[in-house]
Structures are given as C-alpha cells and as structure tokens.
Amino acid sequence: MGVLEKVRTRSPKTAMAEPRAALPLDTILQGDCIAHMRALPTASVDMIFADPPYNLQLGGDLNRPDGSHVDAVTDEWDKFDSFASYDRFTRDWLAEARRILKPDGTIWVIGSYHNIFRVGATIQDLGFWILNDIVWRKANPMPNFRGTRFTNAHETLIWASMGEKSKYTFNYRSMKTLNDELQMRSDWEFPICGGPERLKKDGHKVHPTQKPEALLYRVLLAATHPGDVVLDPFFGTGTTGAVAKRLGRRWIGIEREGVYIDAATQRIAEALPLDESSLRTMQAPKGTPRVAFGTLVENGMVAPGMVLTDAKRRFQAVVRADGSLACGVETGSIHKLGATLQGAPSCNGWTFWHHESEGRLQAIDTLRQTYLLATQP
C-alpha cells in the first residue's frame, strides 16, 4: 500500500509532450500511454476512465454453426508474453494514473475475466479504495457457438477512489433519478455498440472493441461534475471524449494508433454539447419491462433541454441530463416534480407531463410505449 509516498519526481527529460504545468485539455496525445502520463502534472485530473487491453489469449479460429468466421480480436496491442508482463504493464500505468489523479478523484477500469482480476488486485495493492464493481450486462452478447461454456454476457468495471477517506464525487440524486427513483444498482444493462453509433470505414469496424456511449454517459454523469477533467489513457475511437463533450466535461485522450485517432477526432468534432443535441437514436436496452424515464434520456429518445408541460399548460419544466426535471427552483423526477407543483402527495409523471409533437401535446407515456414496442419482442 501507500504508493503515493514513493512517487519520484522525474527529470524533465523523461517528459515527452507538454511540460507538466499545463493540462492539454480536449486533446488526443499520440503515443505510449505511460510515457504521456508521466508528462502530466501530479494531482491534476478529476477522473480517469481506462479500457486497457484485455489480454484475451485466444486460440485458433472459431466458426459459427453456419460456417461463417468469427472476426476475433487479434490485434498486436492485445498480446502479452505472460501474466507477469501483463501485471508489470498494469502496475505501471495504474501507478501513473494514481499520481495524476486529484486526491478526491476516482478511476474507472473496464475488463473481462481475462484481465479484470489482475487489474483489481493491482488497484488494491496500489492503495486505491474500491467503491463498487459494476457489471455491464450485454443485451446482445455473442453466443457461445460450441456450447462449451456459459455465454460470456457481461464485462466488469471497477470504480475506485484514491483512498478510504477520499471525498469522491457521486451524484446520487442523478443516478436515482436516472433509474426512476430507485437507487442505481451495480448491474447495468446496455446493448453492445452497433448500428449507426459504431464507427466504420470501408464497411469494416474501425475499432474491434468500441464501447457504447450509453455506458460512458452513465459513468461520467455519476462520478464527475460539469467542467471536470477526464483522462482516458486508452482512448481508442474516443467514446470517452465524445460523451465528455456532450456532457460538458473536459477530456484528455492518449492513443497510439493513428487510425483510431483520426476516427476519434472527427467523431468528437461532430459531437454536440447537450442543449444543442437533438433526438438521436441509440440502440435501446431490452429486458426490463419497467422503463425508467432516465433510460429514455440515456438512449437519446428524450434530449436534455426538452420542454415538458402538463395537459393544461399550467406548468413548464425542462429535462435535465440525468432525467430529472427543473421548473424554476423546483427540481425532481417526473413524478416528484409533478406532485410538488400540484401540491399533491403523488403524481404519475408519465401521464402528467406532455411534450409538443406534430403541433399538439402528447403525454410522455407515448414515448415509453414507443420504447417498449421497439424493445419488446
């Protein structure tokens, strides 16, 4: 434990890009992630989101039952000689991450059973304090074609603070509102990244493991404030940067591959900060028959900034990023705010609130129905 004390001050020679004084905000740094991290100032970043190589150790080819070939992750960046070399790599970048984080900052790391146990143990060894492990349940995972194991249908995220006593950021109310007035749990369901969100070039996916924006949306909304600085040392095609821009957070990306950087640069340039973004279709999660209003926001069916009114247009409210509503100084979930404004003990926000659609008012419940129709069999 207690690595902080051991952090040595490096000579400027080892720094690569910027002097440590300045944070290269909203920028992608090209090159090795550890080298670039060493050039960043100590205790300067509010959050780190990291999607490191998983060290999959895949064997031969795999075919589907119909004979088609599975396009596996065979990239060089995922190859390591041994667990020992993977552990060294992990410890090195995590130690730098720890130095760069502010005392009250937090780190998120995503992985699978191939690597997450080693990552988690190293995180603990370095003195981080694990706050939660989060399970991303994939709505549409790839099946196990040979029937040899359980369908590998999830990935794991670790969320950790700098230490046991850290005063980390957790937007409890935002998460609860996003989840329809229930505490947000440690298991999240999202579809894998596909459709128009998936970056492609010449008909092929640009990056083999692009993460869904809905996942980063929830992570950033939960653990940062607007204006906070988020570092992603394995930037890839820039999901973290695109969502950070949408949510009004600052970002720094580190990435080796020029192809990924090009795609990320264009993608982030096209990303619209929240109040300008229009209804954009993302894939909708499936499974839970109960739909939280926040789910519609997360999935782009309701844009933050959208104005809702009651049927008689007596009240007006604005949708916020976490799916809560604001009316003057009053805020709350669709149900809670409806009750407050009417002075009623309770209120069904789904039927109380309406939005302008095709020239007339429509209850937001129709959006939920649309969502359910799109996601239920």
205 interface partner picked from its own copies, DNA, none, CB below 5 to 8 A per type = DNA
Interface pick for DNA out of 174, 177, 209, 239 (rule CB under 7 A): 209
Smallest distance, Å, CB 45 to its own copies?
Answer: 21
Site for DNA in 101-120 (CB under 7 A): 112-114
- CB of 140 within 8 A of CB of 130? no
44 interface partner picked from DNA, its own copies, none, CB below 5 to 8 A per type = none
116 CB-near residues (< 8 Å, 6+ apart): 109, 155, 156, 158
Interface pick for DNA out of 36, 98, 176, 246 (rule CB under 7 A): 176
Interface pick for DNA out of 23, 181, 320, 331 (rule CB under 7 A): 181
The C-alpha atoms of residue 99 and residue 50 are separated, in whole angstroms, by 15
349 interface partner picked from its own copies, DNA, none, CB below 5 to 8 A per type = DNA
137 interface partner picked from DNA, its own copies, none, CB below 5 to 8 A per type = its own copies
Site for DNA in 223-282 (CB under 7 A): none
Nearest CB to its own copies, comparing residues 268 and 341: 341
Task: Classify residue 10 by its DSSP letter.
Answer: P
Site for its own copies in 108-127 (CB under 8 A): 112-114, 116-121, 123-125
Please spell the DSSP secondary structure of 12-71, one letter per residue. Answer: GGG--SS-TTS--TTEEEES-HHHHHHTSPTT-EEEEEE---------S--B-TTSPBP-
Nearest CB to its own copies, comparing residues 192 and 306: 192
Strands 354-357 and 360-363 turn out to be: antiparallel
- CB of 338 within 8 A of CB of 349? yes
- CB of 55 within 8 A of CB of 209? no
- Angle value at C-alpha 229, between 24 and 264, nearest 5 degrees: 65
Radius of gyration for the chain, computed over Cα atoms and rounded to the nearest angstrom: 22
187 interface partner picked from its own copies, DNA, none, CB below 5 to 8 A per type = its own copies
Q: By CB under 7 A, is residue 1 in contact with DNA?
A: no
Q: By CB under 7 A, is residue 313 in contact with DNA?
A: no
- Token pair, residue 249, equals 């957070």
- CB of 301 within 8 A of CB of 323? no
Q: By CB under 8 A, is residue 220 in contact with its own copies?
A: no
The C-alpha atoms of residue 330 and residue 347 are separated, in whole angstroms, by 15
The closest alpha carbon to 322, from 180, 190, 215, 186, belongs to 180
Nearest CB to its own copies, comparing residues 166 and 210: 166
Interface pick for DNA out of 31, 194, 226, 273 (rule CB under 7 A): 194
Q: Which residues bind its own copies (CB under 8 A)?
A: 1, 57, 59, 61, 63, 67, 69, 82-83, 112-114, 116-121, 123-125, 130-135, 137, 141, 143-144, 147-154, 156, 158-159, 164, 170, 172, 175-176, 183-187, 222, 339, 342, 344-347
